[in-house]
Chains A and B, each alone.
Chain A
Amino acid sequence: MQRLSALYLLVFTLYVLVQLATGVPHSYEEWHAWMAGGGVRVAVLLFFVALLVHAWVGLRDVVIDYVHPLWARLAVLAAIIAGEVAIGLWVALILVPLE
């Protein structure tokens, strides 16, 4: 899971870097148009899905390594999941209604 999400994140990053190299958006209109375009919007949404999956696996590993008491571990993991779900919903609310 971590490897697959990492691969998508890597490819997406390279794509963005190439885009930036060919021209940073100079105005709100350019930026909005680029983001709202069908392909980019789906790619960015998938980016955040991949990011949340990737971050979850990574943070979960950190918690398993360092947080040993079961109750503390469950509490921290639950907080991370809650935080990630919140971010996911937030991103969806930003990008889905965009036209």
Chain B
Amino acid sequence: MRFSIYRFDPARDAKPYMQDYDIAVQPSDKMLLDALVRIKEDADDSLGFRRSCREGVCGSDAMNINGRNGLACVTKLSELREPVAIRPLPTFPVIRDLIVDMSLFFRQYDSIRPYLINEDPPPARERLQTPEERDRLNGLYECILCACCTSFCPTYWWNPEKFLGPAVLLQACRFLEDSRDRAGPERLEALDDVYKLYRCRTIMNCTTVCPKQLNPALAISKIRHKIIKQSC
């Protein structure tokens, strides 16, 4: 099977280039990650990429595959057009080959305070939720912070420093929807500026590429509604 992979070694290369590989994929190789590992083992040990769980829950192997972002470990080889073009996540600074700098992404994640804020005295065991309250977290808590969505969002491309991006905003919504959290008004106020939330144009690139089938565009819309409701 033929692959064309983005390569860049800051120690050696002046600029990135595409390197072609043609490897014998085994019947046991079902996912793109299997092929990448085989390329690294058999053809080119210098190929760099992140990977860990190999089952779509850690988010490490997010990359741009034939023009669309996705996780290598859950992308089926049988569904890929050849030569398979593999590139790093768009616009994220490249450290080496397919490994990108995610520090801005994680800084933005930290900025929305991704933890429960509740000063009430803790109960003897858990802070309880009804099943309905717990259901409100569905579609939000499952985010694995792979950055497929954020690096595919044109609005984020034009303003990465200021617009928080779909993943971070989805997580902000996750805490806004959590009945155990008490910082709702402060969270909403923190999001209510020209850039952080409102740059979103509902382009829907995020929802298109999310490997966990989440809907950041809808989460952003929900946050907008909450802000309007709060100001009424």
Which residues of chain A have a CB within 8 Å of any CB of chain B? 61, 64-66
Contact = CB atoms under 8 A, between A and B. Distances in A.
A64 B194 contact: yes
B182 to A, nearest CB: 31
11 contacts: A61-B199, A61-B201, A64-B159, A64-B194, A64-B195, A64-B199, A65-B155, A65-B158, A65-B159, A65-B199, A66-B158
A73 to B, nearest CB: 12
A66 B199 CA distance: 12
Nearest to A64: B194
Contacts of A61: 199, 201
B31 to A, nearest CB: 36
Contacts of B158: 65-66
A13 B36 CA distance: 55
Interface size class of B (residues with CB under 8 A): under 10
A84 to B, nearest CB: 20
Nearest to B158: A65
B14 to A, nearest CB: 27
A24 to B, nearest CB: 36
Interface string B200-231: 01000000000000000000000000000000
Interface string B146-167: 0000000001001100000000
Contacts of B201: 61
B62 to A, nearest CB: 25
Contacts of B159: 64-65
A64 to B, nearest CB: 7
A39 B159 CA distance: 45
A61 B202 CA distance: 13
Interface in B166-218: 194-195, 199, 201
Nearest to B159: A65
Contacts of B195: 64
Contacts of B194: 64
Given A65-B199, A66-B158, 9 more contacts: A61-B199, A61-B201, A64-B159, A64-B194, A64-B195, A64-B199, A65-B155, A65-B158, A65-B159
A64 B155 CA distance: 11
A66 B159 CA distance: 8
B220 to A, nearest CB: 15
A63 to B, nearest CB: 11
A65 B199 CA distance: 8
A67 to B, nearest CB: 10
A18 to B, nearest CB: 29
